[in-house]
Amino acid sequence: MTVLESYRSLAEAQKGRARGAPAYSLYVNRPVGRLLASVAHAIGLTPNQVTLVSAAFTFTGIALLMLVPPSIPLGIVVWLLLAIGYAWDSADGQVARLRGGGSLVGEWLDHIVDSAKLVSLHIAVAIGAYRFFESLEVQWLLVPLLFTVVATVTFFGMILNDLLRARIGAPQAAQAGGSSPVRAMLGIPTDYGTWCFMFVLWGWAPGFMVVYSLLALAAVLYLAAALLVWFRKMKGLEAVA
């Protein structure tokens, strides 16, 4: 199957839009991932190989944050590495759909890599800031540590929601209603793609820390609201079950 044939086939194999999916993930990352998936499928890459390609880009960018002194050019490189890794992350599931469906081990590997990158990214910010932001007061390091906790709990909450829904046969989030343009735009501050882009400021420590802290605050507020919604929905599903 050629790249063009793969690309066309994916139009009929797309999964539903998850409720509340943010704009970058929905309107940029998934289409780019679709193109990468078409190329990967045409050259014979498996979904697990695509996941490993994604991990290679992502963790190279994360390592640079910890190992190389900050600069604007480095920030741009890190942004591109993380963004490309994110697009490949979208591609692995699309390659699986082209091949007729995913596997348990593929889903397991994808979630392991996703959870590792979410923790590693914010830990890398803490390490890089501690090593290279000379005028940074030490209390600012609490921000990436808080961000690590929030990102981890948010990711685990979404995975657990799907796991428990599947346990009682309830529709998954992607089947329970799409993401409206307004919801997608409101989700931009909590979008992983937005987190990737903020690293263009990595060479300007004060500006980066302000933007990073605002995104951390948005993530905290999102998680607080999401936990209330998820709790009510779980109680409702429990009553139905």
In tens, the pLDDT along 34-51 reads 999 999 998 999 999 999
Domain annotation covers residue 3: no
Give the separation between CA 211 and CA 213, rounded to whole angstroms.
Answer: 5
Question: What pLDDT does 199 receive?
Answer: 98
Domain annotation covers residue 99: yes
Question: What pLDDT does 23 receive?
Answer: 85
How many domains does one find in the chain? 1
Q: Domain residues for 116?
A: 16-240
Which residue stretches of the chain have pLDDT < 50? 175-176
Domain annotation covers residue 8: no
Question: What pLDDT does 80 receive?
Answer: 98
Domain annotation covers residue 9: no
Residue 119 parent element (H or E) = helix 104-132
Domain annotation covers residue 11: no
In tens, the pLDDT along 159-208 reads 999 898 888 887 766 544 556 677 788 888 999 999 999 999 999 999 99
Comparing CA positions, the residue from 184, 161, 46, 163 lying closest to residue 105 is 46
CATH number for the domain that contains residue 100: 1.20.120.1760
Domain annotation covers residue 1: no
Domain annotation covers residue 77: yes
